[in-house]
Amino acid sequence: MIKSRFSHLKLSALIAVFAMTLVPYPRTSAGSRLSPIVTGADLGNEQRIIAKYAADLVAYDKQTQALGKRARLVSSDLDDVQNRSEDLKRRLSEVQNAVREIVRKLKAANEFDDLDTNIVARITDARDKSYFQQNSFKKLLEDASNDLASYGSDVTTPVDNLRRKLTSRTASPSGDSLIRAHHAAAPFFRNGLQCMLSNIQVGIVWRMGGAEDKAHQNTRICACQGGATCSGAAI
């Protein structure tokens, strides 16, 4: 009888062990299962700084062009764009520092020397691949990290041009000077600061294995090539 009871307990223990093998082991955390694996240098913070500045620059460009198309202006109409111009010029050093940090991170991750080759390998669109092969993201980053702050005149020129267009003055009922804008403002930033920032942005996107969206493509083409179809859309 004792032997029978022992056999029964042994059988029960074996069944319990077998049942435990059917239950999957718990994972360490749900988050670790869902979180993407980050490889290489993390450029997210620098990308946000550059994207915010580029969007503000496009908005400023659109505002100055809209003012230049007005038939009549008063001098106070330029107060807001003047403030924007000063803010953008001040922030140029911050953007240059962000580019320098990108270069530093890529070098620390041993990604900088082969940057262009690796990016081309990630681009699947034939047109984008052809465009990138005609340029060098590595050189663009090097140039921007050294010279970006010198593009301050690209920021101040739109306001300076508008002020020069404020020529035919008569007294307005409010006592402010009434100005007639005889000509629309010329397009700004062609092959300058906005073009450089657009190319840096798309280079970062391609380096991360992404694709350029249509809105940013329009902005880049407008900034770098100009033309009547420029929409000034921001990324």
pLDDT band at 90 (very low <50, low <70, confident <90, very high): very high
Tell me which residue of 39, 214, 206 sits closest to 222, measured CA to CA: 214
Condensed to tens digits (0 to 9), the pLDDT of residues 120-170 reads 998 888 888 888 888 899 999 999 999 999 999 999 999 998 988 875 443
Kindly report whether the global pTM for this prediction surpasses the value 0.85: no
Distances (CA, A) of 23 to 13, 16, 18, 29, 31: 16, 11, 9, 17, 21
93/156 Cα distance (integer angstroms): 15
More confident residue, 194 or 190: 194
71/180 Cα distance (integer angstroms): 6
pLDDT at 167: 59
- Parse the chain into domains and list their residue ranges: 44-69+81-164+186-225
pLDDT at 131: 84
201/48 Cα distance (integer angstroms): 10
Residue 53 near residue 197 (C-beta atoms within 8 A): yes
What three-state secondary structure class fits 95?
helix
Q: Where are the beta strands (DSSP E) in 60-141?
A: 72-74
Residue reference for tokens 């798309």? 202
Q: Which two tokens stand for residue 142?
A: 């090097």
Helices (H), 152-213: 152-165, 193-207
% of the chain beyond a pLDDT of 90:
44
The DSSP bridge partners found for residue 73 are 179
Residue 85 near residue 60 (C-beta atoms within 8 A): yes
pLDDT band at 198 (very low <50, low <70, confident <90, very high): very high
Residue 75 near residue 225 (C-beta atoms within 8 A): no
pLDDT at 75: 87
Alpha carbon 100 to chain centroid distance?
Answer: 15
149/174 Cα distance (integer angstroms): 40
Q: Within a 10 A sphere around the Cβ of 144, how many other Cβ atoms?
A: 24
